[in-house]
Amino acid sequence: MSRSFAAPLAAVDTVDVADTAAGGRVEAVKRIVAGDPYLAGHYPDFTIYPGVFTLESVQQAIRHWATRRHGPGTVAELTAITSISFAAPLLPGDTLRIGCDLSEHEDTPGAVRAKVRCHRGDGALSARMTLELRIERTDDDDDA
């Protein structure tokens, strides 16, 4: 299945990827900008970065890792949210810092678990989550 996620939303500004034998580590940053169109009306009197966008930021960071580790044409599809909690709001002017530890399942090819902690620029924990993903290679010709 081919899907374009959150296009044209760029939910990460920078991504740093490190590979390990069992998976990898991803660190990403998203600056929350007051003028971004997805903030308009998200609580008119108390604008916050939506939790679903925090999840999208994490997914986009993981997609960078999957492409680097497995090559172009690789997709990382979310298959399960094992746990997710939001601890502090992200407001315009804040910086979201994402840290993902990724581990590939030895017994299930393509299965990856991501343990994620998100912090605001001031160091406060904003979210934590454990995600399950499936890594697959795609063929661009399948979209035709």
Residues 26-75: tens digit of each pLDDT: 999 999 998 887 787 777 788 899 999 999 999 999 999 999 988 999 99
Angle at 79 between CA 144 and CA 68, to 5 degrees: 65
Write out the residue range of the structural domain in which residue 123 sits.
24-143
Pick the range with the lowest mean pLDDT from 21-25, 123-127, 139-143. 139-143
Confidence of residue 1 (pLDDT cuts 50, 70, 90): very low
Q: What is the mean pLDDT of the chain?
A: 88
Q: What is the CATH number of the domain that holds 135?
A: 3.10.129.10
In a domain, 108, yes or no: yes
Cis peptide before 44 (omega within 30 of 0): no
Asked if the structure places residue 16 within a domain, the reply is no
- Strand intervals (E) in 39-121: 74-86, 95-104, 111-120
Which residues are part of the catalytic machinery?
42
- Residue partners of 102: CB distance under 8 A and separation at least 6: 23, 24, 25, 26, 62, 65, 112, 113, 114
Q: How far apart are CA 123 and CA 111, in angstroms?
A: 31
pLDDT at position 15? 95
> Is residue 114 one of the residues assigned to a domain?
yes
Considering its fold, how many domains does the chain have in total? 1
Residue 42 lies in a domain: yes
The pTM assigned to this predicted structure is 0.87
Residue type (1 letter), 116: V
